[in-house]
A and B are shown apart, each in its own frame.
Chain A
Amino acid sequence: MASVHTKDRSLPRRMFLRNVGGVTIGLPPLAAMFNATGTAFAATPNAAIPTRFVLWFNGNGVVEKYWIPSDTGSDFTMTPCLAPLAPFRNDIHVVTGLDNPAARLPGPGNDHHRSMAALMSGTQFTGRGSGGPSIDQAIAARVGSENRFRSLQLGVSQESFGESIQRNMSWAGYDRSLPPEMLPNKLFDRLFGARDAGWIARKKSVLDAVQEDAAGLKKALGQEDRTRLDEHLASIRDVERAIASLPPNYRRLDPPEAEGDMKDWPRIAKLQSDLLAHAFASGQTRVASYMLTKCQGLARFPWLGYTAARHHDYTHRDGKAPGYDGPDGQRVMRDICRWHVEEFAYLIGKLKSIKEGDGNVLDRTSLLFVHEHAEANDHKNNGYSLIVAGHAGGLRTNMHTRSTGTVSDLYLAVANKAMGAGLKSFPSATREVPGIFA
């Protein structure tokens, strides 16, 4: 196959495109999606391009007075926290007032644990993790099987208290966390690492043997452990699929710099967003979760000038963050929340910059921006303010809607309208939030 040269000026300087250097892997499933110029769906009719979903998460809550627009409807007034989205007004819909009722069921865990499990899956915290699959996994189970990766989990900041429910946002099921990949280099390797045919053949034989081993082991197990082994097997099959359907004639990106400050979260966030956008553009997956900071997160913010305390410290006005009590602490939180939105806006911009069909990747993507608490200081678990972005499913944009439903109600709307997942129900949902999609 001819080598491919492509130029894409939207990429950062260090991620320019290179040709594949004669490495070709001829495997059918995704071949049709790639044309001679290497841009995934550029020549594909719009209708044939599948939609994608991003569940975006930042830890802790927001400062409502700096976040929630005072007016509803179209042309709402931008707030300090939402300001980075001003250029994307016509790509977003702000939905506020949503409830997270499962966070209030009596049971184990602190406010963060409970809100997080309930937010991701609509279920109660188990004492260890989520009580069921998170919404991204519920969607991936319906729409993910045609792609190289059923879903991707990305993360950025790693600073946390270390518990499972705090470190993970995606859950395959009861207590089954799906950890995010937090290092751009490793994510790059998974998505775009060079492979040759001999390597693939060898990997496949090895994985075949491993799967036979697993089938044999199953006989020696009790029922409960068989289920756990089945999950392990499913993961092995996912690995096998990822190996088998590596896109042929694939345009290759240079890997992100391994050097540099690996705690420079704004830098890492942009690298991760770039990789995610290209993963979508090359049809490698339709579903992703993006964990910018951790639940009850402890990130520090040197680029904002706040190093005296950690993210979660600033959400308590009782002196956890010295010198940032009261209004000062609220202004710190405002700037942190604006940074969250800024990174979200970067991803939106990135998706918009990649051509696809007669439009761009954002036209066929739906992004949902969530955080574990509503008002941060009160650790409030009702009245959530979220953002839906992207045009998949015909999002009504430039809108602020005050809703009375649950977060899960909004999930149902996005899952079905934007992703065509056909979800009949989801825990804590009673109906699709109306008025969000045309």
Chain B
Amino acid sequence: MAQKDLRAPGPEYFAAQVLPVLHKANCEGCHNGGGVAAGTRFKFPEGELSKEEWARFGLSLHTLVNRTDPAQSVLLNKPTKRLAHAGGQRIVPGSSDEAILRTWADYLVSNTKPGDKFEISERRGEQKPVLRRLTNTQYNNTVRDLLGDDSRIAEQFPPEDFVNGFRNQFQSQSVSPLLAEAYAAGAEKLAKSAFRGGDTRGLVPCKEKTPACGARFIKDFGAKVFRRPLLENEQARYLKLWAAGGAPMVVEGMLQSPNFLLRTENGAEPSWRPYETASRLSYALWNSMPDAELFRAAGAGELATPEGVEKQARRMLRDPRARNTVDEFAAEWLRYDSLAGAVKERASFPMYTPELALAMTEEARKLVQYLVWENRNFMELYSADYAFVSTPLARLYNVPPPAEEFGRVTLPPETERSGVLGQAMLLAATAKPSETSPTARGLFVREHFLCQEVPQPPPGVNANLPLNNREKPMTNRERLAVHLSNESCASCHTLIDPIGFGFEKFDAVGQRREKLKIVFTAERKEKGATETVMLDLDTSGSIAGAPNSAFRSPRELGTILAGNTQCQQCVVKQLFRYYQGRMEKPGDAATIRRSYDDFKKSGFHFQELMVSLLRWSIFPPES
């Protein structure tokens, strides 16, 4: 193998030699826009970069170099952990990899000056065209509003998968042959049932079977299906179907058309723009098609201004359809579905029944609904000292039962529960069948509530913890200590596990416990050897990287999260992902910042956030 060139002849050395070293150490796993180290001075740029942009990024690292003594640069001493590094030792001190970094540090000293700026231009507020497919929910709602069909036929379509934490992300919306077949079969069924026993829903505006009647029907009805006026050649196309099979065949065709199943945002056709905006609003707020008023506003040019968009958005929030959409957003964000598949050990948790699991989800739903629609401070999601519980849930929480099922009860301080952090839904979904998992709970807080990605364990790592044994029974904190004593594990687990430790007084179904009870069952063929051990629990936890974040209970954590800017911004980001069907990018920073400012100014009213986020997404701010 050729000897590596250790001189840095020019800026291209960065991409050629230094970048592979940084990749190998997985620096960008934490040092990225949404990563746990996003707040440090070292942040990887996002998106596809040109060679020149990579070189500029390399040059921008001069701020991490010690100009008088390059050997003392943080660029070298952080990854080698000579200086404290939350990410642990990623590069072996004295290795050839470090030598490459040193070469680059020397290059930066002689080729840059303090104060030099090497920013990579962010394409701010750029309106990229997007093609989005109706989700199964949107399909159901749309045919309900279009045809009055309540059969929820899309539940028969292939189920949608989670990507970026949601089921509506455009990257996961390819149309497979199986889905195309389902669309074809669905359209046929819907068209048939729409005209069973004649046109009982009054879809066709005229009685005759003449082409003139067909043309009228196609123009009016088609504009609702395509959510914009039809082009002339489109009308002609469907007139042929009308001639062949009348209104049912027109409906069957239109319901399979990409103009119905897909919708463009910022498409290339300027005359469609107002209608795109109408659909953007209706699918964001209602998960359904625009209503007559929205179509009117689009046609009248009223959606061309932020004020016009805001006015419509506020009107739409008063419609019950808006509630269902918020329910779906929360269900995906908080992953209610993971509780449905959870298994709990029957012997230890006889109370855990499918009914109780449903009640747990209902409690979560009720809290979100209350916060959003009663215009509460949405950050009470984390800090609420009240809950909406059923009688069995009240029993599980050891609080007096509510006056009516899922009525509001106060959670006394000694329960140490608060908001979603004290809900059995979250506590059970992040636990194993018989025991808690501080790691899973910590990870959930990082990813869902702080919008931080934590790198996954490196491939091939033995993820098994030491088993508990009679000789030396251990708490979860003690078992997890292996994570923190092993260098390669510790770099990430110090970010995760200490958050989970604060939940340790809540067992695998979300029940309060004062001590950890470990039952050692009899070995095979051995009789009467069951032994129970009770261990004290240390619930001191913290959020590494967040100042003053020591806590001892979900309630204390709730207070911290409710006042934490990153956590508040994370609510904005999650809604952004749900509304836009994608992850946020550097170019979206201004949209998110403005929406966050509005959210905060309103006292964290979620309805204001919905309006503001749509306004700033449709009309992105300059900065």
Query: Which residues of A pack against B, CB within 8 Å?
Result: 103-104, 106, 108-111, 113-114, 128-129, 149-150, 153, 159-164, 166-168, 172, 175-179, 181, 186, 190, 202-203, 205-207, 209-210, 212-214, 216-217, 219-222, 224-225, 228-229, 231-232, 235-236, 238-239, 242, 298, 300, 307-310, 313, 316-323, 325-326, 377-381
Does B175 touch A at the CB level, under 8 Å? yes
- 8 residue pairs, one from A and one from B, having the closest CB atoms: A164-B161, A322-B434, A235-B180, A318-B465, A238-B177, A179-B158, A225-B131, A220-B269
Chain B residues 469 to 517 lying within 8 A of chain A, measured CB to CB, are 479
Bound complex: CA of A119 vs CA of B413, how far in Å?
A: 51
- Chain B interface residue count: which class? 35 or more
Does B162 touch A at the CB level, under 8 Å? yes
- List 8 other contacts, CB 8 Å, given A111-B463, A176-B176, A323-B521: A104-B460, A160-B341, A164-B161, A221-B267, A225-B129, A232-B180, A321-B433, A322-B345
For A322, the closest partner residue in chain B by CB is B434
Interface pair B433/A316, CB less than 8 Å apart: no
Does B178 touch A at the CB level, under 8 Å? yes
Segment from B40-48, B250-258, B532-540 that makes contact with A: B250-258
Known A128-B164, A164-B161, A213-B234; contact A380-B176, beta-carbon cutoff 8 A: no
Bound complex: CA of A137 vs CA of B433, how far in Å?
A: 38
Interface pair B464/A221, CB less than 8 Å apart: no
- Provide the B441-477 mask, 1 if CB < 8 A to any CB of A, else 0: 0000000000000001101101111111000000000
Segment from B235-243, B294-302, B361-369, B606-614 that makes contact with A: B235-243
Select one of B256, B261, B268, B467 contacting A221, CB under 8 A.
B268
Bound complex: CA of A350 vs CA of B259, how far in Å?
A: 44
Does B112 touch A at the CB level, under 8 Å? no
Interface pair B256/A106, CB less than 8 Å apart: no
Interface pair A318/B467, CB less than 8 Å apart: yes
Bound complex: CA of A236 vs CA of B176, how far in Å?
A: 9
Contacts of B272 in A (CB 8 A): 220
Does B338 touch A at the CB level, under 8 Å? yes
Select one of B169, B245, B257 contacting A202, CB under 8 A.
B245
Query: Which residues of B pack against A, CB within 8 Å?
Result: 23-24, 26, 128-131, 156, 158-159, 161-164, 169, 171-172, 174-181, 184, 187-188, 231, 233-234, 237-238, 240-241, 244-245, 249, 252-253, 256-259, 261-262, 264, 267-269, 272, 337-338, 341, 343, 345-346, 348, 432-435, 456-457, 459-460, 462-468, 479, 521
For A149, the closest partner residue in chain B by CB is B177
Known A205-B249, A221-B129, A231-B175; contact A213-B237, beta-carbon cutoff 8 A: yes
For this complex, 25 residue pairs linking A to B, each with C-beta atoms less than 8 Å apart, are A150-B177, A153-B178, A162-B162, A164-B172, A167-B161, A172-B174, A179-B158, A202-B244, A206-B241, A206-B252, A206-B253, A209-B237, A213-B257, A214-B257, A221-B267, A232-B174, A232-B175, A235-B175, A239-B184, A242-B177, A319-B435, A322-B345, A325-B467, A379-B460, A381-B459
Contacts of B432 in A (CB 8 A): 313, 319-320, 322
Interface pair B175/A110, CB less than 8 Å apart: no
Interface pair A232/B231, CB less than 8 Å apart: no
Bound complex: CA of A111 vs CA of B163, how far in Å?
A: 17
Interface pair B258/A214, CB less than 8 Å apart: yes
Bound complex: CA of A342 vs CA of B338, how far in Å?
A: 30
Bound complex: CA of A423 vs CA of B23, how far in Å?
A: 32
Bound complex: CA of A27 vs CA of B398, how far in Å?
A: 70
Contacts of A300 in B (CB 8 A): 343
Interface pair B161/A163, CB less than 8 Å apart: yes
Contacts of B169 in A (CB 8 A): 128
Interface pair B24/A106, CB less than 8 Å apart: yes
